[in-house]
């Protein structure tokens, strides 16, 4: 009988070593994801999937999805299927997206981590929210306005600052021309009168 007891314990020990550990005592961990960690994605997926070693409990599982500028990118509540969880994805602009998770292990210890992927093509921005480009508006205004002809400038006598040369208008030029002709006529008339007076004086002198 004494020899039988050690034999039974030996067989039990060998069987226990051959059996895998039960899931209840396993430490849960992430086994894969879609998109995978570190991936660069051109087309945004409809949902994000995380796969774990053990079955997930929806009551103790937390999933968060954030995009550029820490904007939430989860499009709805997560759905569970055994050791997998899926979250609808609501993409924003291109950039880095972080999927954070917290799950519970069979031994009661929480397991936290994150999956990162980059969306290379984002959704188009709202044109009503973006400010109008100042450069384009200035360029349009410059193209619409007629060009300004530069005005000739002259330097003042003291050499301080140049002043624009004043060009007389057509009416002013006509008025000045009329005054010049009138003045020339007066001068000519005065010359004629003076000549006549001198002739009369000369005739009187000869007659006397």
Are 34 and 43 in contact, with CB atoms under 8 Å apart?
no
Closest CA to 119 of 181, 191, 38, 190: 38
208 Cα distance to chain centroid: 111
Average confidence (pLDDT) over 34-49: 97
Q: Is 46 a member of any domain?
A: yes
Q: Mind giving me the DSSP string for 51-114?
A: EESS---TTT-EEEEE-GGG-B-B-S--EEETTEEEEEB---SSEEEEEEEEEE-TTS-EEEEE
Q: Could you list the residue range(s) of the whole structural domain that residue 81 is in?
A: 22-119
Domain CATH code at residue 77: 2.60.40.1220
Which range, 21-35, 43-57, 184-198, has the best average confidence (pLDDT)?
43-57
Average confidence (pLDDT) over 134-155: 46
pLDDT at 164 over 50: no
Q: Is 52 a member of any domain?
A: yes
Q: Is 11 a member of any domain?
A: no
Q: Is 94 a member of any domain?
A: yes
Q: Is 51 a member of any domain?
A: yes
DSSP state of 129: T
Burial of 64: CB neighbours in 10 Å, binned 0-12, 13-18, 19+: middle
Q: Is 26 a member of any domain?
A: yes
Taking the whole predicted model, whether its pTM rises above 0.85 is answered as: no
pLDDT band at 202 (very low <50, low <70, confident <90, very high): confident
List all residues 6 or more positions away from 85 whose beta carbon is below 8 Å from its beta carbon: 49, 50, 52, 56, 61, 63, 78, 79, 101
C-alpha–C-alpha distance, residues 186 and 180, integer Å: 10
pLDDT-above-70 percentage for the chain: 58
Q: Is 69 a member of any domain?
A: yes
The pLDDT value given to residue 108: 75
Closest CA to 50 of 41, 61, 40, 66: 61
pLDDT at 208 over 60: no
pLDDT band at 24 (very low <50, low <70, confident <90, very high): very low
The pLDDT value given to residue 93: 94
- Tens of pLDDT, residue by residue over 76-129, are 999 999 999 999 999 999 999 999 999 998 777 899 999 999 999 976 544 454
Average confidence (pLDDT) over 54-72: 95
| Cβ neighbours, 10 Å, residue 117 | 19
What is the tally of structural domains in the chain?
A: 1
The pLDDT value given to residue 183: 78
Q: Is 79 a member of any domain?
A: yes
Cis-peptide into 44, omega within 30 deg:
no
């Amino acid at each position: 009988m004494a020899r039988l007891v050690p034999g039974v314990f030996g067989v039990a020990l060998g069987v226990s070593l051959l059996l895998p550990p039960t899931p209840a005592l396993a430490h849960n961990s992430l086994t894969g994801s879609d998109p995978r960690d570190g991936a660069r994605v051109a087309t945004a997926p409809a949902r994000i999937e995380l796969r774990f070693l053990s079955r997930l409990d929806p009551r103790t599982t937390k999933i968060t999805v954030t995009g550029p500028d820490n904007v939430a990118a989860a499009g709805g509540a997560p759905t569970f299927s055994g050791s997998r969880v899926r979250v609808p994805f609501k993409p924003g602009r291109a950039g880095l997206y972080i999927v954070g998770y917290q799950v519970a292990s069979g031994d009661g210890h929480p397991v936290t981590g994150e999956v990162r992927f980059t969306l290379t093509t984002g959704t188009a921005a709202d044109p009503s929210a973006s400010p109008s480009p100042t450069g384009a508006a200035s360029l349009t205004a410059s193209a619409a306005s007629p060009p300004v002809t530069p005005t000739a400038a002259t330097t003042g006598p003291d050499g301080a600052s140049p002043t624009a040369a004043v060009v007389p208008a057509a009416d002013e030029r006509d008025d000045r021309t009329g005054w010049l002709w009138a003045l020339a006529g007066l001068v000519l008339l005065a010359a004629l009168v003076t000549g006549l007076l001198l002739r009369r004086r000369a005739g009187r002198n000869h007659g006397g």
